[in-house]
Amino acid sequence: MTHSPAFKHILRFSDLSGRAPTLFDLKPEPDVLAHIAQDLDVLQITKLRFWGDIRPIERHDWQLRATLQASVVQSCVVSLAPVTTKLSEKITRTYLADMLQTQEPEAEMPEDDSQEPLPTALDLIAVLSEALALALPLYPRANDATLNAARTKSALSSEADATPAPTATVKPFAALAALHQTPAADHAAAGNSASAAPPPKSDPTKH
């Protein structure tokens, strides 16, 4: 990535004051914004400012304190429509001279992720690009995409509520017929029991 010579973004710690903070205020030009947008895989960066200071701490260590403000255009994850996100982040980085940088895969990460080994020079564009990448939304979504999804869900819910629940088939005439058949069945049962009873025996003494 190339930048305008007037755009001073690389600071050598050996050139910085060991007693007072070194101030910086970066407002990248459009060509620089285009490079950063390409690196971050976003559609466009319409506004970007990175300002603060670098100050000595302890004897050989340094600390960067800055503010990042940006307006970034990304693609909506639902409709691919452009989504603009405005960001304002506070950035703190501490560069330690005695911090060892190991390449072992099993090495534990430091508890404070703002601490880094002290480099020979500091690329402010790299610092702001990293901070911007961490601040960007992972799944940008346009407002209309969210509303459409909510409306679809609401419509489906309303349609489900409006659909009548299935009910059992009622046959009133069949029930009425059953009521009329019950006495007849009782009479038939009584008649059957009467015909089935044996005839009374005659008393021979009465003849």
Question: What is the phi/psi pair of residue 67, to 5°?
Answer: -120, 135
pLDDT for residue 178: 52
Question: 45 and 72 in contact (C-beta within 8 Å)?
Answer: yes
Coil vs helix vs strand at 61 = strand
Question: 111 and 72 in contact (C-beta within 8 Å)?
Answer: no
pLDDT beneath 50, residues of the chain: 1-7, 102-103, 150, 167-173, 176, 179, 182, 184-185, 187-190, 193-196, 207
pLDDT for residue 145: 72
pLDDT for residue 42: 97
pLDDT for residue 166: 53
Non-local CB neighbours of 141 within 8 Å, separated by 6+ positions: 76, 77, 78, 83
pTM: 0.63
pLDDT for residue 47: 96
